[in-house]
Structures are given as C-alpha cells and as structure tokens.
C-alpha cells in the first residue's frame, strides 16, 4: 500500500455519528412540494406492504382530509387511540404520545410533521413528539411539505404570497435517516385539486386562484427536488467518510454569519442557511458586542436571542464575542476557523452616517483578503416600530430634554453674570460642563442635545452681534466650530465612560453576589441548607420564585426547597421537572417541552451526572432569560452543583462511618458472645452432665460445688442478658427515669452488699459528707450505675486493695466518686472505655464481661440529667477514678 493510501483513514466523526444512532429509532420523511401530492397515500401504501411482511406497524395519527382512497389504505392497520385536545374552545383529536410510547411498535406513522400541538401537550410541536419516539427506539414515518422548512418559510411566503405559520427546523430533515420524495407535476396536482381530491369543493376554487398556481407549484417543486438532492448528497458523503473514500465530495466551504439585534438579522440567518445547504457547507453565526456599548434594552436583547435560537434550529454553530474592533475580530475568527465566505446584512444608512463613518460591510470588503463577502440587503424599508427604539417613559423624556435645557440655561445665566463683572475672552469652556454633566447623569442623547443647545445659546448670547445667530467675525466661526466638535467628542466620550462604569458596576454587583453566595454555600451544612441558599440566591437575583428538586431516597424527583416557601408544583410542572432531570435539557416555560408551565426547569449538572433540577418562576412579561441572566444563573448552578455534591459526599461518608461502626459493634458483639456466653454455658453444661451421670457417686461437697457453679454461671448469663437489654433500652430511647429525691448513704450500702454477694473478697471504703442532701435521680438506675462501677473495679483492679466510694457536695451537685488502685487507663483510652463493647484486655485471659457496663452507666447517668467521666491515674500514679455528678434535690427543684 502506498503512503498516500495509508494516510486515508475513515472519518472518526462518521463512526461517532453511527454510534450515536445505536439504540435509537429511525426517521423516514415523505417530502412533497405541496399538499395533495400523495405523501400520506405513499406512506400508507408502503405500510400495507410492510404489514404483509410481518412488521409490527401502527398508525399513531393520519389525516385523510376526506380523501376516500387514502382512508381505504388505513383498513387493516392498527390505529392507536387519540387523546382529546382543545384550542380556542374547540375540542378535537390529537396524537397521544404516551399511548404510543406504551404500545412501542416497531414502526409508527405520525402524519403532518409541522403540526403545532395544543397547550396540554408535553411538547409544543409534533416534531418534538417524534424526537421522543425515536429516542425510545421506535421507527417513525412522517410527512412534510417543503414550505414548512424553517429556512424556506420566508422564501415560500414571497413566492406564494401566503405566510407560513408552522415550521420545522431544517436540522430535523437533515438528521432524517431516509427522505422519500413524493412528486407530482403541477398540472396533475391542479387537476386533482379541481376534482376535489385535495380539498373539499368549496375550498378548491380559492386554492387554485391563490396558492395552487402553476408558477408557485413549479417553484415549490424545485425547492423540494433540491432539498432531496442535498439530503442524498449528505448520505453519500457519510458513506464515503465511513469507507475512507477520497473524492470530490470533500468541500472546504465554511460560512461565517454576522448578526446583531437589528430586524435584518433574521433574514441574514435564513439566507445563510440556504447558502450553506446549497454549498453543503458548515456555518457559524457570530454575535458581536462592544464592552463600551450600553446595556441593550429588553426588546433588542429578545430579538437577538430569538435570532440566535433560530440559527441553532437551522443547524448553525453559535458564538458570542465581545470586541472593540468588529472588523479585526471577525477577520481573526475567520482565519482561525478557515472561513471562506462571510455573510453580513446591509442596512440602509442615513446621509450623515455614510459621511461620518464606514459601515461594517464596507470595512469588511476593504479588509478581507481571500474571503468572499456576501451582503444581504433589506427587502423593504422596515416598519417604524422596528427602527425606533423602545418607547421611553415620561421621566426619561424629561431627563433627556429637561436636563440639557436646564444646565445650558443655568450656565448661560452664570456667563451673563460673569461677563458683567469680568471681561473674559471666551466663555465657551463653561458650556462643556453642561455637556459633561448630561453625559454622566443621563447618557449620550442628553449630552448631544446639550452640545446643540450650547452651540446655539453661546452663539446667540456671547458672539457679536449678540441677540442673533449671525457671526460677524471670521475667527468666531472657527471658535464656534471647534467648540461644537469638542463638545460632541467630550459628550460622546463621557457617555461611553458612563456606560463602561455602569457595566463595571453591574459586573462588580454580579461578582459580589456570586462571592457572597459562595461564602454562604461554604458555610452551609447539609443538603437542605445548600438548596435553601441556592433558592434564596436565585430569588434575589431574578426577583421571582425558585424551587429546587433532587432525587429522594427512592430515586424519584422530589420538591425539596421553595423560595418563597409558599410555592407548589402541580402535576404538569412536576412532569416538566422530571423531563429536565431525565433528558438533561431545559423544560417548561417557553421551551420545547411543556412550554405553558410557568416555571423554567434547568438541570443542575455535576461531573457527568444530574445533581438536581431548579425551577425558575417566569411569566410572559418577563419572557425567556436574558443572556446576562442566563450567565448569572449558570454560574450559580455550577457552584450549587459542587455544594450539592459536597453535601451528598458528607452524607454518604456519614452513612459509611455508621456502617463501619455497626460492623465494628457487630464484630465486638459476636466476639463477646463467643467468649462470654461460651464459658458459662460450658461450665453449666459440664456441671449438669456430671450431676446427671455420676449423681449419688459424688460426695455432697462436690455436688454442692457444682450447684454453686451452676448458680454463679447462671447469674453471669443473667447479668449479660440484662446488660444487652439495658443497652437496647438506652439506644431506643425507652428509658424514662423518675427524677425524685434519693438518699445516697442507704443506696450505696445496698450496692456494696450486692457486689459483696458476687465477690465476698471485695473491699470497699466509703466516705459520705455530713448533712448530705438527697440527689435528684432514679433510685433503680443509680443503683445499677454504682454496681457497674464497683463491678468494673473488681474486674480490673482486683480485690487486694480496697475500692473507695466518696460522696461530697459541690454547690448544687452531688459528686459520687468510685476509685480503684489498679493499673489505670492509658490516656488515649479514657473516653473509649465508655464505648459499647470496649474491652481493655484481649484474648481468653481477659476478665469476663460484655464491655457494656460503663456504656450503660453513662447512658443511665445522662438520662437522669447528670454527667460521668473517668480520671486516670487517680492515686499515686495508678488507679482509676469514675466521677458521677447528679443534681441535688434542693428546695424548689423538680
């Protein structure tokens, strides 16, 4: 193989396109030039053939328009039930998307691709319903007239003189897997129309006189043939790319389309779309703005946004760029992106504009080298409403006209007064103050008016002869012209500076708001606090309500936070929220899914997954999010996604820690059971076996020892089970202590006697302060606490040295200390001894017990409103002291 052939490889983008289609359904479009050419008839005839072949094919919706031959072809095909739709008070049958998804046939026929759905539908347009069917793996057959393509609608309107109200984005046809052209010569179509095979007789006559004229049908037929040929070329190019065939199909054409907020931009985009289709070229739409430009009003911003959305619908790549030099930036992008042709609109400009500055098209033509420039002119003079700026309010008019008049008048009075006192050579500099004040306080229009007023006033009052607009001295003419130029330049620069300052202030406000929000998020603990902070920030930013939804424990989307809290979502809004979550795309207000819902739902994306959904309350007066609002909302959601992930990680780590603790406790419990149950059970079993087998053969003393052993081991089991039961009561919150006065001296005596029965060798020293008031506690719980402490001292300190039990008073607390003289507790284990199943010794040589005694003691003391702590060493660098503090039952305590 030659080196040249070795370099020819399949285009990876072609294989990515194939991979993206795996698991999806296929779209077949029956394309026609006009109604009546037989698109639906061709679909049904093909469906009958596929049914005979055994294909699972159903009719989701077919409109016969009263044509009997079309209706006959529906016989024998399964027809899905329709849902009831309503528009303008009229009820009619609509395509049932959910029924089709539930039935899930292999192929479904859905007629009239460009149809607009009713307000109750999930999507406003039928092509969006079809997109959902395809995503579910269902093949779809549909029909379309070429007039309904987005890029052709304005051209068809000019050809036929009839507005096209329902359109389909060109990208739908471009992405179709198969396009079937259904063609009919204009003469035959007109004959069918006259015979009543297209419309009812009452409408046929009007159609022939209007839309169905030979010249219109011929033009539409040409458009349909061209679009079908373009689609075939695209399919062939895809095949060649997949097979790495190098040929003349490769094109280097690429278009750059420049648009702005002007009314001409929509026409520029549509024209560029047709050029790109004809050239089989990729195209990019570029929106430019200057950093010094004033913030656009709502009408211009909405018009620009609609133009960019249209460009995306037609398949363009959209970019927004901020630059001071438009021509340099356009050419820079054109060279970087290998642009071959630039498309720009040419507005009609006034004489003053043409004289003072060069237009953008002229500048591009003069500067572009090797790049073709296409100009799209205005077809007609735009209406006054499209050329005039937004209607100003009365205060704005007063500021624009009143401030220049007031400041110029004040400066004129000041100049007249100064001229009476001093003989100044030139007072024109004073009028620049008026221009600057108007530019800074109001804007460019007021500054220019102030410059005009200053020019006229200075001429009238201060240039000889005064009282007229006549200029007597030639040098005064030059002075006045220079003043006018300086005033205009100064006013323009000051106005531009004002706009820049306002933009800077807005940027600072936005940055500060995001900084404050980031600080609140960093301090927020838990998912609910993060969501609340996010909703509050969005509400403060947009001035409307915000809701946040995240998946619940079961995985279903649930409303977590609403701000203000009085908001609720109905079933339709929840459906839009789930769509935004599942499909990872906006839904709700003015989107392609449930646009009538008064909330705009946006997915909160985080590391290739959806952390939740935010719903922004919107109304028609607000319209869609402006570009500035969209950027702010995106920044907030990015930070919120990180915070939500952090909160979820904290929660998951806590669950993991609890699970590990549970495993640790389970291991400790099993270890305790295996050791502390096995030993007494083995002793009891051995004693019982010996008594049963030997019986009378053993001496009385031996039998007594065995019975004593059984009694002691049974007591150990009883205490073991009792400890487990007490621990269960503590953790379940079942303990309800009775807080009543308890005399400590007799209680401690009973505890010592009880411990002495368990170990007669145990020595206990007691010391109780004189006139010791009773403690406020539960006598039974306190007895168990002191017994557990003495039992712990007996096990770990031995009986060689006595255990000291001291009771004293500290203010309104009773302090009970139990001190042993054992080895003591290492400093790092002082708190751990109160944990469940904690045992200092390891192995079979450890003291018998469950490791629950001290944990139970702390639980009982805490329930009684007291505290317990361990101190080690206690006496002469050894031993351990447990200190229990309980409130005293003084007069007035409950």
Strands (E) in 717-774, as ranges, are: 740-742, 764-768
Q: pLDDT by residue (tens digit) across 286-337?
A: 988 876 666 666 677 778 888 888 888 788 888 888 887 888 888 888 888 7
Task: Identify the three-state secondary structure at position 688.
Answer: helix
Q: Are 234 and 280 in contact (CB under 8 A)?
A: yes
pLDDT along the chain (894 residues), means of 10: 46 54 83 85 91 92 83 89 80 87 92 86 88 92 88 75 81 86 82 68 52 74 76 62 48 80 87 82 85 67 82 84 84 83 79 59 81 80 42 60 78 76 66 74 73 76 71 63 69 70 72 76 78 85 86 82 84 88 86 85 81 86 76 84 81 74 59 59 77 76 78 70 62 72 89 80 87 87 84 76 89 90 81 71 49 77 87 80 89 57
* Helix (H) or strand (E) run with residue 27 in it: strand 27-32
Residues 6+ apart with CB under 8 A from 740: 776, 777, 778, 779, 889
Task: Identify the three-state secondary structure at position 489.
Answer: helix
Q: Are 614 and 604 in contact (CB under 8 A)?
A: yes
What are the structure tokens assigned to 49, written together?
Answer: 């053939």
Domain 527-651, CATH: 3.30.450.40
Identify the sign of the CA torsion 824, 829, 834, 838. Answer: negative
Task: Identify the three-state secondary structure at position 470.
Answer: coil
Domain(s) labelled CATH 3.30.450.40 in the chain stretch across: 527-651
C-alpha distances (whole Å) from 874 to each of 512, 826, 827, 879 are: 57, 12, 12, 5
Q: Are 759 and 797 in contact (CB under 8 A)?
A: no
Query: Closest Cα partner for 833 from 863, 871, 798?
Result: 871
Domain(s) labelled CATH 3.40.50.300 in the chain stretch across: 12-242
What is residue 780's predicted lDDT score, i.e. its pLDDT?
80
Query: Closest Cα partner for 32 from 196, 268, 225, 230?
Result: 225
Domain(s) labelled CATH 3.40.50.620 in the chain stretch across: 254-381
Query: Closest Cα partner for 796 from 751, 829, 757?
Result: 829
> What is the spatial distance between Cα 591 and Cα 498, in angstroms, rounded to a whole number?
36
C-alpha distances (whole Å) from 84 to each of 71, 96, 119, 121 are: 21, 9, 12, 10
Phi-psi region of 66 (alpha: psi -120 to 50; beta: other; left: phi over 0): left
Task: Identify the three-state secondary structure at position 605.
Answer: strand
Q: pLDDT by residue (tens digit) across 794-813?
A: 877 766 788 889 999 988 89
Residues 6+ apart with CB under 8 A from 787: 751, 754, 755
Q: Residues of 150-185 as b/e, b for ≥16 C-beta within 10 angstroms?
A: bbbbbbbeebbeeebeebbbbebbebbeebbbbebe
> In the 3-class helix/strand/coil scheme, how is 388-419 assigned residue by residue?
CCCCCCHHHHHHHHHHHHHHHHHHHHHHHHHH
> What is the spatial distance between Cα 17 and Cα 19, in angstroms, rounded to a whole number?
5
What is residue 239's predicted lDDT score, i.e. its pLDDT?
59
Average pLDDT, the chain: 77
> What is the spatial distance between Cα 663 and Cα 681, in angstroms, rounded to a whole number?
26
C-alpha distances (whole Å) from 246 to each of 3, 7, 11, 485 are: 14, 11, 11, 62
Q: Are 269 and 220 in contact (CB under 8 A)?
A: no
In CATH terms, 12-242 corresponds, of 3.20.10.10, 3.40.640.10, 3.40.50.300, 2.30.30.100, to 3.40.50.300
What is residue 681's predicted lDDT score, i.e. its pLDDT?
72
What are the structure tokens assigned to 738, written together?
Answer: 């009775």
* C-beta neighbour count of 347 within 10 angstroms: 16
Q: Are 238 and 17 in contact (CB under 8 A)?
A: yes
What is residue 104's predicted lDDT score, i.e. its pLDDT?
92
> What is the spatial distance between Cα 306 and Cα 314, in angstroms, rounded to a whole number?
12
Cα angle 502-350-394, degrees, rounded to a multiple of 5: 45
In CATH terms, 734-887 corresponds, of 3.30.1020.10, 3.30.565.10, 3.30.830.10, 2.60.40.10, to 3.30.565.10
* C-beta neighbour count of 735 within 10 angstroms: 16
Domain 254-381, CATH: 3.40.50.620
What is the DSSP track for 548-588?
A: EEEE-TTS-EEEEEEESTT----HHHHHHHHHHHHHTS-EE
């Amino acid at each position: 193989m030659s080196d040249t052939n070795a370099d020819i490889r399949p285009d990876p983008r072609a294989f990515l396109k194939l991979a993206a289609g795996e698991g999806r359904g296929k779209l077949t479009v029956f394309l026609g030039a006009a109604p009546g050419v037989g698109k639906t008839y061709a679909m049904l005839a093909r469906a009958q053939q596929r049914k005979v072949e055994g294909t699972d094919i159903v009719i989701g919706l077919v409109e016969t328009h009263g044509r009997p031959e079309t209706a006959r072809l529906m016989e024998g095909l399964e027809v899905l039930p329709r849902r009831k739709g309503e528009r303008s008070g009229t009820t009619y049958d609509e395509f049932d998307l959910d029924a089709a998804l539930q039935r899930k046939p292999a192929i479904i026929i859905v007629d009239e691709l460009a149809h607009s759905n009713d307000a109750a539908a999930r999507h406003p347009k039928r092509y969006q319903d079809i997109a959902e069917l395809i995503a579910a793996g269902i093949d779809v057959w549909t029909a379309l007239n070429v007039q309904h393509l987005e890029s052709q609608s304005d051209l068809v309107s000019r050809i036929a003189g009839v507005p096209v109200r329902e359109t389909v984005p060109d990208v739908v046809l471009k992405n179709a897997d198969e396009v079937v052209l259904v063609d009919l010569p204009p003469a035959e179509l007109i004959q069918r129309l006259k015979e009543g095979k297209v419309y009812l007789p009452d409408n046929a006559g009007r159609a022939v006189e209007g839309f169905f004229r030979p010249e219109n049908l011929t033009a539409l037929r040409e458009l349909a043939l061209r679009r079908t040929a373009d689609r075939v070329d695209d399919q062939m190019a895809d095949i060649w790319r997949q097979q790495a065939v190098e040929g003349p199909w490769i094109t280097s054409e690429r278009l750059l389309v420049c648009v702005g907020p002007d009314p001409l931009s929509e026409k520029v985009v549509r024209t560029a779309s047709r050029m790109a289709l004809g050239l089989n070229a990729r195209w990019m739409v570029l929106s430019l703005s200057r950093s010094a430009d004033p913030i656009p009003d709502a009408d211009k911003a909405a018009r620009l946004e609609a133009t960019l959305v249209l460009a995306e619908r037609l398949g363009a790549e959209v970019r927004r760029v901020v630059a001071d030099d438009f021509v340099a930036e356009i050419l820079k992008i054109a060279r970087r992106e290998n642009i071959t042709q630039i498309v720009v609109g040419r507005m009609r400009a006034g004489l003053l504009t043409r004289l003072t500055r060069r237009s953008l098209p002229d500048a591009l033509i003069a500067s572009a080298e090797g790049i073709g420039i296409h100009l799209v002119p205005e077809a007609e003079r735009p209406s006054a409403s499209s050329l005039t700026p937004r209607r100003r309010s009365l205060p704005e008019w007063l500021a624009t006209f009143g401030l220049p008049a007031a400041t110029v008048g004040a400066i004129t009075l000041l100049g007249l007064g100064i001229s009476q006192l001093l003989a100044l050579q030139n007072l024109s500099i004073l009028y620049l103050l008026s221009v600057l004040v108007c530019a800074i306080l109001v804007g460019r229009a007021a500054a220019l008016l102030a410059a005009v007023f200053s020019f006229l006033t200075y001429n009238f009052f201060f240039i000889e002869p005064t009282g007229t607009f006549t200029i007597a001295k030639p040098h005064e003419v030059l002075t006045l012209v220079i003043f006018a130029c300086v005033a205009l330049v100064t006013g323009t620069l000051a106005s531009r500076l004002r706009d820049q300052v306002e933009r800077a202030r807005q940027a600072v406000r936005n940055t500060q708001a995001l900084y404050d929000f980031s600080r609140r998020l960093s301090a927020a603990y838990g998912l609910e606090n993060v969501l609340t902070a996010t909703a509050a920030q969005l509400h403060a930013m947009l001035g409307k309500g915000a809701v946040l939804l995240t998946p619940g424990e079961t995985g279903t989307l649930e409303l977590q936070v609403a701000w203000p809290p009085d908001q609720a979502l109905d079933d339709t809004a929840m459906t839009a929220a789930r769509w935004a979550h599942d499909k990872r795309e906006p839904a709700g207000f003015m989107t392609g899914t449930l646009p009538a819902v008064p909330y705009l739902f946006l997915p909160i994306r985080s590391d290739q997954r959806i952390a939740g959904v935010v719903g922004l309350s919107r109304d028609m007066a607000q319209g869609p999010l402006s570009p500035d609002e969209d950027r702010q909302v995106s920044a907030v959601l990015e930070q919120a996604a990180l915070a939500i992930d952090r909160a979820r990680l904290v929660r998951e780590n806590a669950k993991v820690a609890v699970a590990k603790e549970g495993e640790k406790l389970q291991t400790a419990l099993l270890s305790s059971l295996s050791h502390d149950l096995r030993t007494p059970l083995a002793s009891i079993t051995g004693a019982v076996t010996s008594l049963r087998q030997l019986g009378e053969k053993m001496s009385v003393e031996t039998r007594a020892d065995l019975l004593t052993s059984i009694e002691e081991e049974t007591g150990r089991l009883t205490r073991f089970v009792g400890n487990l039961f007490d621990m269960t009561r503590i953790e379940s919150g079942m303990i309800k202590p009775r807080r009543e006065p308890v005399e400590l001296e007799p209680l401690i005596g009973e505890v010592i006697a009880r411990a002495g029965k368990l170990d007669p060798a145990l020595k206990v020293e007691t010391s109780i302060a004189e006139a010791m008031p009773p403690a406020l506690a539960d006598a039974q719980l306190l007895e168990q606490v002191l017994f557990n402490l003495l039992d712990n001292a007996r096990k770990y300190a031995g009986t060689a040295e006595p255990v000291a039990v001291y009771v004293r008073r500290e203010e309104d607390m009773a302090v009970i200390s139990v001190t042993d003289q054992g080895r003591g507790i290492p400093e790092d284990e002082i708190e751990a001894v109160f944990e469940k199943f904690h045992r200092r010794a390891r192995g079979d040589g450890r003291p018998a017990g469950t490791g629950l005694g001290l944990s139970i003691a702390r639980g009982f003391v805490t329930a009684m409103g007291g505290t317990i702590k361990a101190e080690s060493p206690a006496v002469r660098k050894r031993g351990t002291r447990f200190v229990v503090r309980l409130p005293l039952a003084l007069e007035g305590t409950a």
